[in-house]
Amino acid sequence: MAPNYLTRILAWLAMLVALSCAGAYAGPAHAQEDLPGAIKPACHAFSPIDTTYEELAADHAAWTCNSTHWKDPQPAGWLRFDANEWRGKGLPVMLVTRVTKFDRLSIFAVRHDGTTQALGLSPDEVTPRAGRAVFSAPLPPVNNDTVAVVVRVERPWNAAVLSDARLSTDPAAGDWPVTGLVMLGILAGMLFAPLIFDLALYAVLRQRFVLWHATLVMAMMGYVISFTGLIVLFADLDVVTLAKINGFTLALMVALAGFFLADFVEEDALTLRMRKALRLASLIALLVPGVVTLHPPFLDYRWHQLYFLGFLPALAIYIVAMVEALRRDSRAVKFIFAAWSPILLLGGERIVRGLGFYGAPSLIDELLYVALVLEVVISAMGVADRMMSLREQRDNARTRAQVLETLAEHDPLTGLLNRRAIEPRFPELCEEGFSTYALLDLDHFKAINDRYGHAVGDEVLRAVARGLSPDEDTLVMRLGGEEFLILLRGPHARARAEQRRQMLPRHIAQEVPGLDRLVTASMGLVEGPPAAMGASSFKELYSRADKLLYEAKQAGRNRTIGEKLTLFTAHDKERRSTERRKQDRRSSARAKPGRSESA
């Protein structure tokens, strides 16, 4: 079963990775070479909110003309695109950059004579694109007299809105082509397979980590649909709402990963303290970045770095937990380590980039899609492997329980049932027709042990167990020592019990050679209708049979003394009571014994 299952999983893995790679490179992105006629900013700067372009243009030292230092406490970020960058490519018509919250976007077309033409836009006036969580904004008219385009973003919450900004000569810049959208749609749809698989597994073995993994897969699907821009095709969202969805699904994804890890690895692979640390780090990842990305009114753009910093405790604890589990040779965490390593590397890079230390090509984000697909499939394999392991443990536990139950209900020397197995079921056995209760004891068995030793005595007991011949209508049990109990049902039950007793001496002599005398047995037997037997408890019948056995021993051994029980109706009891009162005797017995003896 397992090899076929793993083969199917590997096939899914190959298909998903292929589709992910195809989707990642099927269309234009938000940055650099992927945009048709992509034009990168030559320099960037930061300033107070009331600084004008003219003032900043005159301060050459304020501009940074390399791909570093993209975050600053100053509330206004500036980009300058030089005309030399679009010569030969056509005139730019569109600004494309990362979705984030900002207060206002201003775009200036700078003429050769130093004059400018400005266009101001609010977040509601820019257009989210179906292409990797980007938005586009029109430019003021750009012509051959334009020497630069300057972009000003007021209070940006994410440094990527500056570092990933590009001008494009294509009015449709930022959108996926049809082939890219189809591939991404198929990719997102195929991610449902591990989700359905999780739900099917949970129906078989209700383990909490399966639900965590299912919700984690759903969060990843939401992140992919949102961050790739597919959501724009189905919902009319503004950039601020889209930024909130992007940020919150990522925070939710990281948090769910921690809860999943805490419950997924084997019990002995992580300490209780580490599991608590995982859950605490997951809550921090959900609450801190999750709250920041919702842009509450008591926070401003300067707090956005807390969004990325809030992931650091979770990433650190996850890594420490995996290392601890690996040191304890956890099989489950090996799957997680393989699934999460690419995401942890790329996630760490995203944190550093999000803090504004540098800009990066779109390839990094595209690799994250591939890493997410790998995570979903490899972790699904890990879940399946863990479930098979748990199922095997459960089956082994049931087998051990059955073995222990068998040992507890069977005599280890003879293999017969013991009193513990029969006494709780005695009323049920009476209802099933067992109406003869025979208590058998070997005669002078102590002498055998004293003369031949306990090993020979044990052989005699085993021979007795075989000679009493249990079958469908005859239950035989050893009560202890040389005492056996026979329960019988069906016709001629008493005769069958007596036949077994009388055959024992010859049977023992054949199976245990070397004994100097025959080993006989005495028996006390109680029989009656099933209703009469059921009206008495197991202990009551045992006491009756034991007294009869004692009488058989006193009468010379090697014989059976029996007694019949009769169940009286209320009328019979009243009549019998009247008769006994006439004889000045009282009786509370419900059964009338009738003695018999056979030898």
Q: Say which CATH topology domain 2-26+177-396 has.
A: Rhopdopsin 7-helix transmembrane proteins (1.20.1070)
- Whether 343 and 372 have beta carbons less than 8 Å apart is answered as yes
**Angstrom distance (rounded) from CA 485 to CA 478:** 6
At 175 the pLDDT is 65
- Whether 515 and 448 have beta carbons less than 8 Å apart is answered as yes
pTM equals: 0.62
Q: Is 392 helix (H, G, I), strand (E, B) or coil?
A: helix
Q: How many angstroms separate the most distant Cα atoms in the chain? A: 142
Strand bridging mode 134-138 / 127-129? antiparallel
> What are the two backbone dihedrals, phi and then psi, of residue 115, each rounded to the nearest 5 degrees?
-75, 160
Q: Say which CATH topology domain 419-598 has.
A: Alpha-Beta Plaits (3.30.70)
Please give the CATH architecture assigned to the domain spanning 32-168: Sandwich (2.60)
Question: How is residue 567 annotated by DSSP?
Answer: B
At 592 the pLDDT is 44
- Amino acid identity for residue 443 in this structure: D
Positions of the chain with pLDDT lower than 70, given as ranges: 1-37, 131, 173-181, 183-190, 356, 358-366, 393, 397, 399-408, 567-599
Which two three-digit tokens encode residue 24?
């990642």
- Name residue, tokens 């069958």: 496
Strand bridging mode 483-489 / 127-129? unpaired
**Angstrom distance (rounded) from CA 139 to CA 124:** 16
CA distance to 209, 271, 284, 285, per residue, from 257 (Å): 10, 18, 13, 10
At 559 the pLDDT is 95
**Angstrom distance (rounded) from CA 46 to CA 44:** 7
CA distance to 120, 344, 527, per residue, from 490 (Å): 102, 74, 12
At 371 the pLDDT is 79
Sign of the alpha-carbon dihedral angle for 243, 246, 250, 252: positive
User: In which element (H, E) is residue 13 found?
Assistant: helix 2-24
Which two three-digit tokens encode residue 584?
């000045």
Strand bridging mode 116-121 / 166-168? unpaired
Beginning with the edge strand found earlier in the chain, give each strand of the sheet holding 134-138 in spatial order. 127-129, 134-138, 94-98, 166-168
At 70 the pLDDT is 77
User: What residue ranges do the domains of the chain occupy?
Assistant: 2-26+177-396, 32-168, 419-598
